[in-house]
Chains A and B, each alone.
Chain A
Amino acid sequence: NAGVTQTPKFRVLKTGQSMTLLCAQDMNHEYMYWYRQDPGMGLRLIHYSVGEGTTAKGEVPDGYNVSRLKKQNFLLGLESAAPSQTSVYFCASSTWTGGLGSNEQFFGPGTRLTVL
């Protein structure tokens, strides 16, 4: 199993450009998440999904959109990139154990995005 994969690993954009980050998981997890990680800020939740076809806003959703057309994929879109969106983006997935154990999140390797 590959676990959680992210594409691309690195990207440099100019202000105003758009792009889509792809996250894929092969663990049949129901829940998927997009975080951004900035120095001194920790991981902050952008958007999340509790199942195919459903998405919801997290803590810092402005400037981002998401889609979950297939259970295994979760896409994060930046329609008009801004320098404030320079960050490391992590995708994660988890499943519901029904209270029988830990619902830990499995993280992808991250995408390092720079917006000039």
Chain B
Amino acid sequence: GQNIDQPTEMTATEGAIVQINCTYQTSGFNGLFWYQQHAGEAPTFLSYNVLDGLEEKGRFSSFLSRSKGYSYLLLKELQMKDSASYLCAVEGQGGYQKVTFGTGTKLQVIP
């Protein structure tokens, strides 16, 4: 099975940088997703890491260490609209795209 751990809540200041960590223990691993979910809305895809290292996409970057079972999402130049929950999700192995989601980190951006 999969066990995914991420902080429940974080607060950061507009314009700052914030790092949201995710650790996982899995019986099989293909890759790791990050999704953003605004309150009352559906999750939307942010990033996908398969190999170790940092993937940068605009203000958002995602890092993966497969050997350590660790990932983080880095948000730069925070904006008020970045206030949302960020879901870490692990894609396992096994013939279809089985994804296990963490409980999410609720980020509040304050002025």
Contact = CB atoms under 8 A, between A and B. Distances in A.
Interface string B70-111: 000000000000000001010100011111111110000000
Contact of A110 (B31, B42, B45): B42
Given A31-B97, A43-B87, A96-B97, A102 B42 contact: no
A107 to B, nearest CB: 4
B7 interface: no
Given A42-B87, A42-B104, A43-B87, A107 B99 contact: no
A110 B41 CA distance: 7
A101 B52 CA distance: 15
A90 B99 contact: no
Contacts of B104: 42
B97 A43 contact: no
Interface of A: 31, 35, 40-45, 48, 50, 90, 94, 96, 101-110
Contact of B42 (A50, A101, A109): A109
Contacts of B97: 31, 94, 96, 103, 105
Given A43-B101, A105-B43, 9 more contacts: A45-B99, A50-B95, A50-B96, A90-B42, A90-B43, A96-B97, A104-B33, A105-B99, A108-B42
B103 A107 contact: no
19 contacts: A40-B103, A41-B103, A42-B87, A42-B101, A42-B102, A43-B87, A43-B89, A43-B101, A48-B96, A48-B98, A90-B42, A90-B43, A102-B33, A102-B45, A102-B48, A104-B33, A105-B45, A107-B44, A109-B41
A103 B103 contact: no
A79 B89 CA distance: 30
A43 B45 CA distance: 14
A24 B57 CA distance: 30
Nearest to A41: B103
Nearest to A59: B100
A50 B89 CA distance: 19
